[in-house]
A and B are shown apart, each in its own frame.
Chain A
């Protein structure tokens, strides 16, 4: 069961903090982060990559980005 982090309506640094908290809490496998602005999408992708996670894919539905990240 993959974890979903709902960061819709939040702007940075909150989405990044939430993502990194989840990574630090020993989450493994795959996570999906929901954000609704481009800057947060870029920041979450950048932060995950810097922690050794890979961005598996980003899809957009009605202005919400679903960022799938995986432990590399």
Chain B
């Protein structure tokens, strides 16, 4: 398929990907996923951390097949179009820590940029604060980018290195099949399963996996990225990725409205709290970390699927971050931020600013 122009690289490719996600995510919610959480990369990685026992918050434990699908769908697309390029070595340890704090920020807000968009499209006014914070955090990141911030060049590596995260995902799928959920049991083999709360709410496995594969495929082809959408607009006034993100929000709004999932307001929204400042600052921390790491949490999964080992390290950072966030009481709940959520956000900003200010080696 080499030589064929990538039709997904054009404006309709990215808008099409946004529309597809905007349709599929609310439908996943209809089929069982939690409220305004048809797809949430951060929440779903947090649920995976819980299913593996990396944290013991018993309401958020489930191996989310969507995440597996995102990576493997991207892997399939990358192989079909000869874009699987195993590479790594661009400051992986820094990306690991950025992943940790991106997750902590997301769990203070209760969602990644994907869910912020879906929450807005479901009528959750708190998402306005989250998206505002996201823009603010990314704006700070663009100041560093203009000042020469970069994490250095990657190197080509063995194909097997590029396969590490896809293999982990296959392993998780294997665990899910070997140790399926047993009705009324909180454990099956090595896996934890939520009996109540968001972790107990999920669409059927095959549908979740299928949708994940499709989104992974489309996003790899179109380079869909919620952080890049805002970053490119701020940096270059470039609308390309933003058009996909806006298409997602508008489509999800229309679908939610049509199937009766739209409820406007601030109070009583599903898996959300109304502490405006921390909704804003949580997502701002996340946005800054995503910007410094070069992609939103979805994009990191898609990059990992096409062989980017640095993106894979960022993903592992997020999963570890979820474990820390719940074990340390940093994550928010419907009642508000966790007992140590506020200091964690402050520490996160300090770490991200340190990284932003210090990593400016000239590339040339």
Contacts and interface: CB of A to CB of B under 8 A. Distances in A.
Interface stretch (B42-50, B232-240, B314-322): B232-240
B6 A38 contact: yes
B96 to A, nearest CB: 17
Contact of B235 (A6, A10, A17, A37): A17
Contacts of A10: 150, 153-154, 363
A55 B303 CA distance: 26
Contacts of B364: 6
A17 B90 contact: no
A57 B302 CA distance: 28
A20 B153 CA distance: 19
Contacts of A16: 236
A46 B228 CA distance: 14
A9 B179 CA distance: 41
A70 B228 CA distance: 26
Interface residues of B, number: 27
A26 interface: no
A30 B83 CA distance: 28
A11 B291 CA distance: 12
Interface in B85-127: 85, 87, 90
B116 to A, nearest CB: 22
Contacts of A17: 145-146, 235
Given A16-B236, A63-B156, A36 B85 contact: yes
B9 A42 contact: yes
Given A9-B90, A9-B154, A42-B223, A14 B9 contact: no
A13 interface: yes
Contacts of A46: 238, 240
The residue among B83, B146, B231, B235 with the most chain A CB atoms within 10 A of its own CB is B235
Contacts of B85: 36-37, 63
Interface string A15-57: 0111010000000000000001111001000110010000000
Given A46-B240, A47-B236, 10 more contacts: A8-B153, A9-B153, A10-B150, A11-B90, A13-B232, A17-B235, A36-B85, A37-B85, A38-B6, A47-B238
Interface of A: 6, 8-14, 16-18, 20, 36-39, 42, 46-47, 50, 63
